[in-house]
Amino acid sequence: MKIHDFAIGPNPARVRIALAEKGLASDVTFVPVDLPGAEHKQPAFLEKNPTGTVPVLELDDGLFISECTAITEYLDNLDGNPVLTGRTPREKAVIHMMQKRAESELIDAVGIYFHHATPGLGDKMLAYKSPDWDGRQAWGERSRDRAVAGMRYFDKVLRDQPYVAGQAFSMADITVWGGLAFADFARIAIPEDCAALAAWRARVAERPSVRSPAG
């Protein structure tokens, strides 16, 4: 298998953590993609993933799988022992619900702020943004506020349970972790009163897969 990604990106980090959790790092070859150089927006990469995002998993039979959720589902189920995406219908439903919230209310919101209200990845990416700077900046600032609200939501969730989707570490935790790492990079701080979220983050930071993700 190959994974096309940008090593320091928040979404690639999600898949690298999943690989480490599953012990699959040695089964994957990483192919770097130059995001600041807009390689992911060029025809050759768009043949792999029409949405122009990373990471992309390339299977040995030539199939390309994009989207972190889909990639994690595939990796987690290879050995018939899904530990990140749920074993029972109830577990799967809750994990996917929280996964979606972690994406829409945190990591994606941070991404919109970073890419549209800050210089983002640099000059070469400007051609792929709206020329309306004022409109982009306003949208970005609203998304920053949404990301902070997302942090407060997950803080509330984590007051009553050890992990985002319940009693076990899951794909949803990986996504919240990635969202907070991205927020650090974008200089969006966790609110000081989000003690449960901060405590969860400290615990997750001690997981071997997070300390030393695949790659």
Distance CA 43, CA 187 (A): 32
142 Cβ neighbours under 8 A, 6+ residues apart: none
Distance CA 141, CA 13 (A): 25
What's the pLDDT tens digit per position in 179-203?
Answer: 999 999 999 999 999 999 999 999 9
Q: Report which residue type is found at 149.
A: A
The highest-level CATH class for domain 2-77 is alpha beta
| Under 8 Å between Cβ of 68 and 55 | yes
The reported pLDDT for the residue numbered 140 is 87
Average pLDDT, the chain: 94
Cα dihedral value 98, 100, 104, 106, nearest 10: 40
Residue boundaries of the structural domains of the chain: 2-77, 89-207
The reported pLDDT for the residue numbered 133 is 67
The highest-level CATH class for domain 89-207 is mainly alpha
129 Cβ neighbours under 8 A, 6+ residues apart: 115, 116, 120, 136
Report the predicted TM-score, pTM, of the whole model to 2 decimal places: 0.93
